[in-house]
A and B are shown apart, each in its own frame.
Chain A
Amino acid sequence: MVQSEKKKILVVDDSETNLLLLSAVLEDAGYEVKLMSNSYQAVQYIHDHQPDLILLDLLMPGMDGFEFMERLRNGHNRQMYPVVVVTAYDNHDNTKKAMDLGAEDVINKPIDINNFLMKVEQIVN
Chain B
Amino acid sequence: MSEKNTDSGQLKSLLTAYSLKDLTAFFTRVDEQIVSLHQVSSEDFMNLNRDFRDFHGQARQISDNASYLFHYITGNENAEMVAGIEKLYQELRSRTEILDGHIEVISEALTRLLSRLRQSFFPIKNFKQNLTSLKFLESNYELKIPFDQEREVPPMAIQEISEQLKAQLGSIETLLSKLKQMIRAHFELKEQFNRERSDIQNILTLLKREIESYSGHYQNIREHLPAIKTETQRSSENIAGIVTNLQYQDIIKQKMEHIQHTHKQLLEEISAMEQQEDQVDDQTKADYFIRIRDIAGLQAAQLMHTNKEYQTAIQKISDKFLEIGQSMTRVSAMCNQYIASDQGSPEFMSGLKQNLDQAKGQIESFCRFTRAFSDKRDEIQSILDQLKDGHERVNQYMQQLNDILKKTLTNGQTESKDDAIVQQISQLHGDLQNNQGLLTSIFEDYQTIRQELERDSMANLYDKGNGAEDLPGKIRAYLEKLGQIEQQILEKLKENNEKSEQIYSEVQNSVNRIQYYEYFENVIGDIIEQLNTVNYNLKLYSSYSGESKEENLQKLREYYTMSTEFKVHDSVSKGESPEIEAGEEGGDLELF
A interface residues, Cβ below 8 angstroms from B? 15-18, 20-21, 23-25, 28, 57-59, 87-90, 108-114
Least distance between A12 CB and chain B CB atoms (Å):
13
Which of A16, A59, A109, A111 has the most C-beta atoms of chain B within 10 angstroms of its own C-beta?
Answer: A109
For A111, list chain B residues within 8 Å (CB): 243-244, 247
Q: Are B250 and A15 in contact (CB under 8 A)?
A: yes
Contact of A109 with B46 in the complex, beta carbons under 8 Å: no
A18 touches B247 (CB 8 A): yes
Are the CB atoms of A88 and B562 closer together than 8 Å? yes
Residues on A with C-beta less than 8 A from B585 are 110, 112
Q: Is chain A's binding surface mostly helix, strand, loop or mixed?
A: loop
Q: Is B589 an interface residue (CB 8 A)?
A: yes
User: Are B45 and A112 in contact, CB atoms less than 8 angstroms apart?
Assistant: no
B residues less than 8 Å from A28 (CB atoms): 56-57, 60
16 A-B pairs, CB-CB below 8 angstroms? A17-B45, A17-B46, A17-B247, A17-B249, A20-B50, A25-B56, A25-B243, A28-B57, A59-B592, A88-B592, A109-B251, A110-B587, A110-B589, A110-B591, A111-B243, A111-B244
Q: Which residues of B contact A113 (CB under 8 A)?
A: 239-240, 243-244
| B464 adjacent to chain A (CB < 8 Å) | no
Our pick among B42, B562, B586, B590 for the contact of A17 (Cβ within 8 Å) is: B42
Q: Mark B147-186, 1 if CB is under 8 A from A, else 0.
A: 0000000000000000000000000000000000000000
Q: Could you tell me which B residues sit within 8 Å of A by CB distance? A: 42, 45-46, 49-50, 52-53, 56-57, 60, 239-240, 243-244, 246-251, 253, 561-563, 583, 585-587, 589-592
Query: Contact at B52–A24, with CB atoms within 8 Å?
Result: yes
Q: How far is the CA of A108 from the CA of B247 in the complex (A)?
A: 12
CA distance A26 to B292 in the complex (A): 45
Q: Measured between alpha carbons, how far is A3 from B589 in the docked complex, in Å?
A: 35
Q: Which of B50, B248, B586 has the most CB of A within 10 A?
A: B586
Q: How far is the CB of A64 from chain B (nearest CB, A)?
A: 9
Least distance between B487 CB and chain A CB atoms (Å): 26
> How long is the Cα–Cα vector from A110 to B586 in the complex, in angstroms?
6
Checking A58, A59, A110 against B247 with a beta-carbon cut-off of 8 angstroms, the contacting residue is A110
Chain A residues near B246 (CB, 8 Å)? 17, 21
A26 to chain B, nearest CB (A): 11
Q: In the complex the two chains form, what is the Cα distance from A89 to B49 in whole Å?
A: 24
Chain B residues lying within 8 Å of A57, measured Cβ to Cβ, are: 592
Whether the pair A88, B591 counts as a contact (CB closer than 8 A) is yes
The reply to whether B53 and A24 form a contact with Cβ atoms under 8 Å apart is yes
Residue of A nearest to B254 (CB): A59
